Every structure is written in C-alpha cells, then in structure tokens.
Structure 1
Amino acid sequence: MPTRPADPSTTRLVPYITGREGEHPDLLASLHGAQGPDGRLHLAYHDEQNGDRDLRGVLWGRCSQNIGIDNLPTGRPRWRMVHPSRQRECMEQLRCQVCAQPARTDHGYLFLAGPHEMHPGDAVVRTAQPPVCVQHARIAAEQCPHLQGQPTVFLAQSAPLYGVIGTPYQYADGGLRALPAANGREALPYGHPGLRWYLASQLIRRLRAYTIINLDDLPPK
C-alpha cells in the first residue's frame, strides 16, 4: 500500500490512523440493547453488519472514512483524533500506524511510547499505539507531539492482544446512555463482563519479551 506522504498544508507526515475532517462517528440512535447468543441483553447496532464486532465479539464504534482513489485516507488531518477502524486494522494485523505496511522486522516489532506513557519496569506494559516500521520510526519520533522527540523504543518479540479502550453504556427505562469513564476513556481486558455494554474505539496490545533500544540502534527491516 503506498503512503500519502504529508498534509498538503504542512510538512508533517500524516499517519494512516489519524482522523480526517469529514469523518464522523455513527449516531447514538443506531445503538440499542439486543438479546445475545447467550440470551442476555448486550449492546448492538440495529443493523449490525459483519465487521462491527472484532474476533472476540466486542462491538466497535462506527466512523465514516474519507478514502481517496488510492485507497488511502484523504482530507485535512484532525491531529488529536484516531480513527477507530484504521487503528484496529493496524493493531490486529500489526501494520505500521504511519504507512499501513507490515511492521515486522527480523527482530520483532517496534512500539514507540512518549515520556511517562509506558514504564518498562511495570508488571504489565500495554499500548494502544500500533507499531511502526523501521522506515517511519525516526520521523514519527520527530514529528509526533506526544513522543516529544524522546520516545521509549520497545522492540517486542511478543505483543498479544489485551483488550480495548472505549465507552461503557447503560441500558435503562429511558434507553441507552453513555457512562463516564476515567479520563474520558476506559480500558477493559478481553473477557471482562463489562464488554457486553461497551463500544470499543482502540485496540490494546500487551508487550512481552521486549527489549528497550535507541533509535540509533534500529534493527534492519
């Protein structure tokens, strides 16, 4: 898949997962409580389609996409927005969040974290940032504001799926309503009972069997 290199109004590279102007989430009215395969109510779309749920049965937020004739996102970037479908695609398939190409190197996968974002000494190291390929690791470190030019670089040999970030909902007599979550979003592991009433927006992986490296010591592609 080719990479559209930059926002035409700036010199910044626009990652594949970045939201674009004109892309909008689906309306709350498209959701309702429905009976699941186990006979219990759960969150669902009125017109649920293949792909609305991930392989573990979690419902994902729909969002329109502005796609050009080259099958890449187009439009002015919304820098603080992550497109849920494109983030999920890159995380599920372990593709580079910048160019959407396979991110695997001969030594594992590169994940970048900003200062104070992930701590190697933690018992569990998790990330909602898809990996990056060797080609785009340095430019991502230089241009991504949350990395502040000094990322922690994780070279992971194992990064299994952990869970999702999203919005919890409650079904009551008055209908559905979104519940507040810590910092506006809440991370739940797969298997958590609360996922029945959850609308996912980002996929999370757990980093295992990793080493910390410097950008200057990046492995060959």
Structure 2
Amino acid sequence: MRPTLRPAVVPYTTQRAGEEAAPDNLVLLPSSGSRGRRTYRLFYADEDARLDRDLRQVLWARVSFTPYDERRRPTGEPEWKLMHPFRQRVTMERMRCQICTAPAATPLGSVFLAGPADYASHEAPLFTNQPPVCVRHVATAAALCPHLGEDPVVFLATSAPVYGVLGTMYGLVDGRVEVVAQPKEPLPYGHPDLPTLLASQLVRRLARFRVLTVSELQRDLAQLPG
C-alpha cells in the first residue's frame, strides 16, 4: 500500500522504521477453566498489565516507539503496510482519526473507508480493523492507500461497537511457547481462545450505517445547518 510519491502526511497509525517488535518473552501459565478443566493464559515474563493489556484484559503485541516530534507525531520512515498495534488500538478505542487523531465523529455518523473489493456485500454487520477518519482527511486517506481506489466506499456509521481483536494464537509445543494458529477472522471479546491470543489489531462491528461515495458524503455534510 505504498504511495508512488512521498506524501506530506503520514497516518498516525502507520508503523515507522525503527519501531520493532519486543523480544519474545512470552510465557503460558496454567489457570482454572470451567468445570475444573485445566487451561492456560498468555503473559509477558515482565508484564505490566496497565500497559500490556487492554480494557478487557486481552494481551497485546509489544512494538517499540520512535521519538515523537514537536507536534507529538511519530518520526522515522513509514512502513506503509503495517499499523502500529498500540496506535491502531488507541484510535479505534477512542474513535479518533487514523491520520491526525482528531475526533472522527460527524453529526451524521463516523466515517470508515473501504476499497471496492473489501467486502462481498455491504449488508450489516461488517467488521473493520481500519480506524475511522475525520472529514478533513477522507481524501488524504484515499490518496495514501491505493487499494481504496479512486473513489473509496464510505461507511457512515451510527453504530460501530467494539467487537474483538485480530492476533496470533500461542500454545505449548514440546514445552516451548510457540505460535499455533493465525486466525483470519477476528475473535470476539469473550471468546474462550482469547487467553492464549496475542492481539495486534482492534476490530469494530459496523452494525448500522449508510453506504456513500466521497462526493455524496461531502454533499450531505455541506447541507448541515451552521
């Protein structure tokens, strides 16, 4: 998804060169399951639950941070195909623009973008790992992400609750903590496999929305009073 020209704007969520995955110090510890069944839970050996787990106690992948500039923006060359797990999670949790971190809500709803081939159907519910965008940066987001096409699909959502996470499943293989699965679909919060999943992206469920083009969105917003 790398633009052909060097852009003046880099999305806040984009991972930067120098932001690297933390050393692999994961451990699986036994815990009590339902009906006394032995289960396991994934931890970092030096875990700080305030930083390493989200509000629903799911463990998240650690990726380092490059220094921030005077505008509190990440520095370093953008890694266009990657989203920084922490910044993706924060913008999705708080419904902030993935470009500038401003509130993404409009009087008509929150704007989520997709490419023409991202969904086989535009019927609710749909699931997205792409944080919303503010109205100011709809065109910018489309220009920075070639897969969106020249006229991306706009989902103007009035209901987009947090659904779950994408990530990597871990298990014990010959006594070692190893990757055992990479689910293609997000696991909803409350799923029994979440204790052994290392999350990397937060997913929202688009439950109620209108499907528009960018020009239709701009037209509807222009007709608002004031």
TM-score when normalising by structure 1: 0.88
What pairs up with 1:123-134 in 2 under 5 angstroms? 123-134=124-135
Flag the 1:164–1:52 CA change in 2: closer, same or farther, 3 A.
same
Q: Percent identity?
A: 45
Q: How far did residue 34 of structure 1 move?
A: 2.5
- Residue pairs, 1:25-104, within 5 angstroms: 25-28=21-24, 30-36=25-31, 40-49=39-48, 50-70=50-70, 71-104=72-105
Deviates more, 1:186-195 or 1:71-80: 186-195
The offset of 1:80, in angstroms, is 0.5
Quote the Cα distance in structure 2 between the aligned partners of 1:62 and 1:102: 25
The answer for unaligned runs of 5 or more in structure 2 is none
After superposition, the C-alpha distances for 1:75-117 in whole angstroms (9 at most, x for unaligned) are 0001011100000000000000011111111111000001221
The answer for unaligned runs of 5 or more in structure 1 is 1-6
Q: Offset of 1:36 from its aligned partner?
A: 5.0
Matched with 1:4 is none
Stretch deviating more after TM superposition (30-39 or 204-213): 30-39
Contact kept in structure 2, 1:119 and 1:125, CA below 8 Å: no
Secondary structure in 1 aligned to 2:193? helix
Question: TM-score, structure 2 length as denominator?
Answer: 0.86
Q: What's the C-alpha RMSD, in Å, of the aligned pairs?
A: 2.2
Kept after mapping to 1: 8 A contact 2:124/2:208: no
Runs of 4+, deviation exceeding 6 Å: none
Per-residue deviation at 1:123?
A: 4.7
How far off is 1:141 after superposition? 1.2
| Structure 2 residue 203 is matched with structure 1 residue 214 | no
Q: Look at both structures and tell me which one has the larger radius of gyration over its CA atoms.
A: 2
Instruction: Give the aligned partner of residue 191 of structure 2.
Output: 192
